[in-house]
Amino acid sequence: MTATTISAKGETLAFPPDFVWGAATAAYQIEGAARDGGRGPSIWDTFSHTPGRTADGHTGDVACDHYHRYADDVRMMAELGLGAYRFSVAWPRIQPSGSGPAVAAGLGFYDRLVDELLAADITPYVTLYHWDLPQALEDRGGWTNRDTAYRFADFTRIVHDRLGDRVGTWMTINEPWVSAVLGYGIGIHAPGRASAAEAFRASHHLLLAHGLGARVLRDAGASEIALTLNLTPVMTPGQVSDPDLVPSAEDSEAVNRIDCLINRQFLDPALRGKYPDPVLAIMERMGGIDHIRDGDLETINQPVDLLGINYYTPCVVRSEPGEPANAAYPGSEDILFSGTHAPTTAMGWAIVPTGLSQLLTRLSCDYPEVGLLVTENGAAFDDVVAGDRVHDADRTAFFESHLRAAHAAIETGADLRGFLVWSLLDNFEWAEGYNKRFGIVHVDFETQRRLPKDSALWYREVIRHNGLHRERARRPTLEAVAARAGVSRSTVSRVINGEGTVSDEFRAIVMHAVNELGYVPNSAARSLVTRRTDSIALVVSGSSTEARADDPLFSATVRSATRELEESGKRVTLMLADSAAGRLRVEQYAASGHVDGVVLVSAHGTDPLPAALARTGIPVVSLGRPAVATQTPYADIDNVGGASLAVRHLLARGRRRIAAISGPPDAVTAQERLRGYREALRDTGHRSIIAVGDLTLASGADAMRQLLHDDPALDAVFAAGDLMAIGALRVLSESGRRVPDDVAIAGFDDIEAASYAVPALTTVRAPREDQARAAVRLLLRQIDGGPVSSTILPTELVIREST
């Protein structure tokens, strides 16, 4: 893996002096006033009013009522220090039928909004199309009809004629892939059609609309023109943790094909004047290319000043012969979309900040003629209002990690000029309705009350300092609040829950500490009014007690989980289930309601306890992936990717006869690490050489003796645990083999002893404390009834003298 050196000015990680800080929204998501001022229906009005199309039948009829509250919203933007505000113009508010003369009231609204922004010293960034096509145009074919692109050019001229004297930056089309594929290809967005051929036709006409609109803007004297795309780095599972990993030829083809479909299908026509050959071939197969006419690509390839980048999550794929095509990616046969195995947002989108660095760096290298602007980046989380605060620490952490990634890209030469968070307000989240909140400002949709979240207050400080603190802030705990207030943890919990047994004096003291520290109330703090036991069982299952007693990383993981639970205000009951009687005792204890949930540490594939606990109905999270598929969510590390990383490192060092010392065959981690070893060798054509250990020093030594006896010519060893690797080092020394001259060796886990071994051990660092914290967070969220998905944390290779 490569490391990036980040420069800092004093205590601040500084961005360029003219860096633009702002926020973004879209008309249908926030404006409301669906029938005010002569506005006509859009495809999203029709779609959201069709039963079954949106969550809970939600519509954008009222949304955030921004149409009537824009002045207050602009004042709030100014208080947050925003330098720019990206908003979209509702086409049906200007031309209800999609063509003809403009409606004065519609233009008047945007007139007033722009004037209000300028008076507040906030630069308006106008998006001309953010998915709200007039229904009248859809009735004539929508974006599958070539004429719609020309109607967009007319609409562009009308809006620029009215606002062009005050607006400098214009964005033509927002995310044509989403409009075309989700709207016309698979039907989960408006207008709800499902045809691969129509998706490709719509994509082309959206690009044509961009080119025609950009030409209108340039001829009218617009100073800055942009196209906004949802872009994502496409990678293999192994590249998530190791971007420098060279995939197999089959995986490379899969990555390139999907990259062409989601990224280059739009980048190359707009910035290079041509479609990638794989896209044309798929188009031809799906429905022909007669919609691409002579001169279209020249029109689409208009000079632009900025490329707007909407980044949320990467796309992870690998070759899988026989896999059917993903409906969202026509032509993706034999490709598996495998997911990223990372923490996720409430949308289920994996959080991979390094993907933004890769994307920005790649774009500046491949398309150096255009400046870059992050036009959307944000996350939905399950926010909780506590008094007059929303402590959305997860969202703040999301933004901070992505801004650090953006800064790293700038350091490597990316021409990034600004960052706009998505979104300013909680809003109508398309097909998800009002169930997913992306805003840095909380909106009560019943009262329309605006409440800046902690992420907004944090962002205000970032803007004020034009950068980030060098060191990340630690998240306050319930215990820290109790210490600051000088009360017990249970008192803090009762105050947060509004329980009446606490005096006004102590309530005020506790809330002052809560606000001062920015504490985020969690399920533990809220548990006292739910009649829960406030206890969690930490269950250690399996029969490998002897090996585990010799494994310092295992005990560290259990300690971390215990500490995280206690800091969350939970009492911890440690239970062993290393026999049939022990497992039955745990199952009965959980089923009887003595605990609110279980964190299960299970090592063996044959362990029946995960399935047994699942049947009790009690919330359970596994610390480590269960071998047998169950509904039990889990928090694990990337064992496969980490092992592959270590073996590929040995291959890169010129080693060709690489043996493995595997862990117990029935241990899930051992199975996965062995799989990573085999996959890395298989990709390069080398054969596997395997001996089995049981995670102890002695077993590593015994396995090394066996390997030397069976294959004296081996030149490298990967051990699936550091203790086994250290045992192997001792045997190599006893046998007169020099490390790494004769035999290189790498381990896994980065226990403390690895750095003190002779020679110091190259190993894979496993974020065990993060894994324990992730498991506890999953359990607490599950107890609260929130959405829960399993988490796999990335690993990294620590290179020392043994290789």
* Residues belonging to the active site: 175, 376
Distance (Å, whole) CA 525 – CA 515? 15
- The pairing of beta strand 234-235 with beta strand 335-337: unpaired
Which helix (H) or strand (E) segment holds residue 132: the answer is none
Distance (Å, whole) CA 644 – CA 641? 5
Residue pair 626/610 in contact (Cβ under 8 Å)? The answer is yes
Q: What are the beta bridge partners of residue 601?
A: 540
Please choose, from the candidates 318, 238, 276, the residue with its C-alpha nearest in 3D space to the C-alpha of residue 648: 238
Return all residues near 139 (Cβ < 8 A) that are at least 6 apart: none
Distance (Å, whole) CA 552 – CA 92? 64
Distance (Å, whole) CA 439 – CA 395? 9
Distance (Å, whole) CA 55 – CA 50? 11
Distance (Å, whole) CA 168 – CA 667? 61
Distance (Å, whole) CA 379 – CA 399? 8
Residue pair 800/396 in contact (Cβ under 8 Å)? The answer is no
The residue type at 607: D
| Residue 278 CB neighbour total at 10 angstroms | 18
Which helix (H) or strand (E) segment holds residue 90: the answer is none
Q: What are the beta bridge partners of residue 123?
A: 84
Please choose, from the candidates 245, 358, 242, the residue with its C-alpha nearest in 3D space to the C-alpha of residue 309: 358
Would you tell me the crossing angle of helices 478-485 and 552-567 to the nearest 10 degrees? 50
CA angle 139, 144, 150 (to 5 degrees): 85
Residue pair 366/309 in contact (Cβ under 8 Å)? The answer is no
Residue pair 93/86 in contact (Cβ under 8 Å)? The answer is no
Cα atoms in the 13 Å half-sphere on the side-chain side of 379: 26
Residue pair 536/570 in contact (Cβ under 8 Å)? The answer is yes
What is the three-class DSSP state of 228? strand
List the alpha helices (DSSP H) in 568-663: 580-591, 609-616, 639-652
| Residue 81 CB neighbour total at 10 angstroms | 16
Classify residue 764 as exposed, middle or buried by CB count within 10 Å of its CB (0-12, 13-18, 19+). buried
Q: What is the DSSP letter of 795?
A: -
| Residue 100 CB neighbour total at 10 angstroms | 12
Return all residues near 255 (Cβ < 8 A) that are at least 6 apart: 234, 235, 236, 247, 317
Distance (Å, whole) CA 730 – CA 758? 9
Three-class secondary structure assignment of 450-499 = EEECHHHHHHHHHHHHCEEECCCCCCCCHHHHHHHHCCCHHHHHHHHCCC
Distance (Å, whole) CA 122 – CA 85? 7
Distance (Å, whole) CA 612 – CA 630? 10
Structure tokens at 4: 């990036």
| Residue 333 CB neighbour total at 10 angstroms | 14
Q: At 629, give phi and psi (nearest 5°).
A: -60, 125
The structure tokens 């922004």 sit at 117
